[in-house]
Amino acid sequence: QLVLVTGVTGFIGAHVAVSLLNKGYRVRGTVRSMEKANELVRLNPELKDKIEFVIVKDIVEPDAFKDAVKDCDYVCHVASPFFVENITDNKTQLLDPAVKGTLSALEAAITEPKVKRVVITSSFAAVVNRGRDPNAGYNYTEKDWNPVSYEEAVSTKNGLSAYSASKKFSEKAARDFVKEKQPHFDICTINPPYVLGPPIHPMNSMESLNVSNQVLWKLINGSKVQPSVQAYQVDVRDIANAHVFALENKQLSNGRLLVSQGPLFTNRISKVLLEKFPEKKDIISEPSDVPFNEKMHKVDSSLSKSLGLQYYSEEQTYVDTATKLWERAKQF
Ligand code: NDP
């Protein structure tokens, strides 16, 4: 069975490809350049001759994936812009690529009768209501939607809000597409919070590290900052497995899956890493005395667990991520 993975040189896309290969699928990955594809294989020699690469320079082009989807049984649409800083135009930099990229993937799938399901990497950002008091203990489930309007999405000066809106509107576009066109395939979205994990994808410098891993890198790169961030997290390998899991699971036909290991609290990450790597105490940030806020909203991952999805332990995620980040940093 052949699976098209869009954005295979990204942080999550690379792991989705690895998970698919481990489960016996064949993988075709879209990349913006062959140089990046070669770099992915150089970094992960076990991928040599395992992934078929196709160049898709810009996912915004209407027929972006038309050739790439030929003969595919499934599609994992992972590619989407993910940055929250230095944004000058929310529409052209975030909203359009996210929405049009998703629609391009679905339009392409319509042209390939073999496609049975399109799994889309959405986000907890499409679920959370940023206007709600984060301390009200609200329990987010698959039923919740970020209420941001398109007008706010275009005009907000807050990068995180603009990015979150791009995920909401792209997921919504996908669900409307299925309702209106009743295609021969169905969809499923995976909605993760902060994704942490070992980066195996190409990058130019540690500054170009993907957004979500930056929170952990800042705690271990010698800067000794302690931002005391509290949110929710999931391991990139769990997310990758969730994509594979969602491809064929009947209960997830046109489904939505919230995936979370549990809370991300930077003080706890520091504590775990200081215990595991005492020899690195000069470069790991000390935990602050800000206590864990028990009243923070919850991310309910019970559906994923009831379907049998398993999660890495948080400690394992921190240790494996830190180890890989230190290893990658030596390259630059
Ligand atoms: P990355 O930035 O590492 O990956 C984004 C991927 O999308 C890259 O492969 C990138 O290509 C590709 N891409 C972006 N814009 C375009 C474009 N216009 N044309 C072609 N390709 C494009 O981020 P992540 O791996 O973290 O994110 C992947 C997906 O997961 C996104 O949909 C994101 O919203 C979602 N997500 C991520 C979370 C996280 O915490 N990391 C949490 C929730 C959801 P290139 O490799 O060439 O840059």
Query: Tell me: the pLDDT tens digits for 145-160?
Result: 999 999 999 999 999 9
CB-CB contact of 15 with 197 (8 Å): yes
**At 92, is the pLDDT very low, low, confident or very high (cuts 50, 70, 90)?**
very high
How many degrees, rounded to 5, is the angle at CA 119 between CA 71 and CA 10?
A: 90
Domain containing 84 equals 2-198+234-260+297-303
| CA of residue 201 to ligand 1 center, whole Å | 11
What's the pLDDT score for residue 316? 98
| CA of residue 111 to ligand 1 center, whole Å | 24
Kindly state whether residue 222 falls inside one of the protein's structural domains. Answer: no
pLDDT at residue 187 is higher than 90: yes
Kindly state whether residue 273 falls inside one of the protein's structural domains. Answer: no
Kindly state whether residue 276 falls inside one of the protein's structural domains. Answer: no
Kindly state whether residue 209 falls inside one of the protein's structural domains. Answer: no
Q: Using CA positions, which residue lies closest to atom 31 of ligand 1?
A: 80
Ligand 1 pocket member 255 (CB < 6 A)? no
pLDDT at residue 218 is higher than 90: yes
Q: Per the structure, how many domains does the chain have?
A: 1
Kindly state whether residue 84 falls inside one of the protein's structural domains. Answer: yes
- Per cent of the chain over pLDDT 90 is 96
265 phi and psi angles, rounded to 5 deg = -135, 115
Average pLDDT over residues 56-61: 94
Ligand 1 pocket member 202 (CB < 6 A)? no
| CA of residue 294 to ligand 1 center, whole Å | 31
Kindly state whether residue 325 falls inside one of the protein's structural domains. Answer: no
Nearest of 204, 170, 163, 164 to residue 187 by alpha carbon: 170
The CATH number that applies at residue 107 is 3.40.50.720
What's the pLDDT score for residue 57? 95
| CA of residue 9 to ligand 1 center, whole Å | 9
Kindly state whether residue 153 falls inside one of the protein's structural domains. Answer: yes
CA–CA distance, 317 with 267 (Å, rounded to integer): 15
CA–CA distance, 332 with 2 (Å, rounded to integer): 35
Q: Using CA positions, which residue lies closest to atom 1 of ligand 1?
A: 10
Nearest of 28, 48, 36 to residue 10 by alpha carbon: 36
Ligand 1 pocket member 84 (CB < 6 A)? no
Calculate the dihedral angle through the C-alpha atoms of 59, 62, 67, 69, rounding to the nearest 10 degrees. Answer: 70
DSSP at 162: H
CA distances from 275 to 214, 217, 327 (A): 21, 17, 19
What's the pLDDT score for residue 10? 98
CB-CB contact of 212 with 278 (8 Å): no
Tell me the per-residue pLDDT of 243-263, one tens digit each, with 9 for 90 and over: 999 998 999 999 999 999 999
Average pLDDT over residues 85-111: 97
pLDDT at residue 111 is higher than 90: yes
pLDDT at residue 62 is higher than 90: no
pLDDT at residue 136 is higher than 90: no
Q: Which atom of ligand 1 is nearest to the CA of 13?
A: 25
| CA of residue 61 to ligand 1 center, whole Å | 17
What's the pLDDT score for residue 135? 85
Look over the chain and give the mean of its residue pLDDT values, rounded to a whole number.
97
Would the ipTM clear 0.85, i.e. be above it?
yes
Q: Using CA positions, which residue lies closest to atom 39 of ligand 1?
A: 195
Kindly state whether residue 37 falls inside one of the protein's structural domains. Answer: yes
What's the pLDDT score for residue 269? 98
Ligand 1 pocket member 166 (CB < 6 A)? no
CB-CB contact of 183 with 110 (8 Å): yes
What's the pLDDT score for residue 134? 84
Ligand 1 pocket member 32 (CB < 6 A)? yes
